[in-house]
């Protein structure tokens, strides 16, 4: 099958109005193309079209936390959150380790909203008990990364400014961040249930899902990740290793990323999705194959399925 047939088939089967995909190989983008429509206008998305990327934001939050650790601001990833945040909605959260938040093994219930701020989302679950002892199970919860945003706020001088200066600007991503609709360049229209939707406020998703980006920036991101920019090699290895659970098994997450391994246990690729609220996004990087795939769509369809299909295309 060709790239065009895979993408067009995905758009047709999922009812997605538009998509833009790119493929990186051996240090360069080798394919990039927009399909369909970004909204009421008939034009296909371009490299400069802005999309909200929702949970793909978590990959940048993870990089920011790891930078703070490399810089010595965070002494250890096994430090409890309460060492740096004295005031939390639920005191039990203060005993959870930073790496357990990054790996989605904290036991904190999920929270999220299209209208509430992330702080309101955290407050809404403040009375709930932990779902399981921290470190014992994997459970994907936005709350983990809301709390990591508060950690960066406390020790890094603000989640937005720190991430911009220490992650986004270092990679070279000028059109990525907590960008509201009014400030987005050439914004796409999200679609849910076949109907146009509104952009969410960046403060809804914040460190768990508040970023917007463009394909031009995501191409730069994928290439920078494959080149080992921003973090030390040992930190990349840690980030892209399945997190060990207390029962002797491993979770599907590393630190902020889904980690897929080969039968021999070596890294096949790492990926992170964003979805919901009328959007879909995915960045996949395979250091062993020096290959990356980036996908942006304006529908809450599984963008990861499209990305992995393109990754496995010969």
Q: Which tokens is 73 given?
A: 């601001």
pLDDT for the residue numbered 1: 82
CB atoms within 10 A of CB 154: 15
Q: How many whole angstroms separate alpha carbon 85 and alpha carbon 104? A: 19
What is the full per-residue pLDDT of the chain (314 aa) written as tens digits? 899 999 999 999 999 999 999 999 999 999 999 999 998 667 999 999 999 999 999 999 999 999 999 999 999 999 999 999 999 999 999 999 999 999 999 999 999 999 999 999 999 999 999 999 999 999 999 999 999 999 999 999 999 999 999 999 999 999 999 999 999 989 999 999 889 999 999 999 999 999 999 999 999 999 999 999 999 999 999 999 999 999 999 999 999 999 999 999 999 999 999 999 999 999 999 999 999 999 999 999 999 999 999 999 87
d(Cα 234, Cα 124) in Å, to the nearest integer? 37
Asked if 20 contacts 47 with a C-beta cutoff of 8 angstroms, the reply is yes
Query: What local confidence, expressed as pLDDT, does residue 266 receive?
Result: 96
CA distance 98 to 170: 24
Write down the pLDDT at residue 41.
Answer: 67
Q: Of 220, 211, 221, nearest to 177 (Cα)?
A: 211
**Res 194: pLDDT:** 85
Spatial CB neighbours of 149, under 8 Å, sequence gap ≥ 6: 61, 118, 159, 206, 207, 208
> Which domains does the chain show, CATH number per domain?
3-19+45-280+291-311 (3.40.710.10)
| pLDDT score of 39 | 80
**Residues contacting 258, CB < 8 A, separation 6+:** 252, 270, 271, 272, 273
- Structure confidence at residue 54 (pLDDT): 98
Total residue length of the chain: 314
Note whether 48 and 214 are within 8 A (CB): yes
């Amino acid at each position: 099958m060709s790239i065009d047939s895979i993408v067009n088939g995905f758009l047709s089967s999922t009812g997605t109005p538009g998509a833009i995909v790119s493929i990186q190989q051996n240090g360069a983008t080798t394919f990039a193309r927009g399909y369909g429509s970004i909204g009421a206008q008939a034009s296909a998305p371009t490299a400069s079209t802005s999309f909200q990327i929702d949970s793909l934001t978590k990959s940048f939050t993870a990089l920011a936390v790891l930078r703070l650790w490399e810089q010595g601001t965070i002494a250890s990833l096994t430090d409890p959150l309460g060492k740096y945040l004295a005031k939390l909605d639920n005191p039990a959260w203060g005993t959870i380790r930073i790496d357990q938040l990054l790996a989605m093994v904290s036991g904190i219930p999920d929270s999220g909203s299209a209208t509430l701020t992330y702080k309101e989302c955290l407050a809404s679950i403040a009375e709930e008990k932990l779902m399981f002892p921290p470190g014992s199970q994997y459970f994907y919860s936005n709350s983990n990364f809301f709390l990591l945003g508060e950690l960066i706020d406390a020790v890094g001088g603000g989640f937005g400014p720190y991430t911009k200066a220490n992650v986004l600007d270092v990679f070279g991503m000028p059109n990525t961040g907590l960008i509201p609709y009014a400030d987005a360049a050439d914004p796409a229209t999200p679609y849910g249930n076949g109907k146009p939707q509104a952009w969410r406020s960046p403060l809804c998703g914040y460190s768990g899902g508040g970023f917007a980006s463009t394909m031009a920036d995501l191409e730069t991101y994928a290439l920078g990740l494959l080149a080992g920019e921003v973090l030390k090699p040992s930190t990349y290895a840690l980030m892209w290793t399945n997190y060990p659970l207390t029962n002797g098994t491993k979770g599907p997450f590393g630190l902020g990323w889904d980690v897929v391994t080969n039968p021999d246990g070596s890294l096949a690729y790492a990926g992170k999705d964003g979805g919901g609220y009328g959007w879909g996004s995915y960045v996949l990087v395979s250091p062993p194959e020096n290959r990356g795939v980036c996908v942006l769509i304006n529908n809450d369809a599984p963008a990861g399925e499209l990305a992995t299909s393109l990754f496995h295309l010969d």
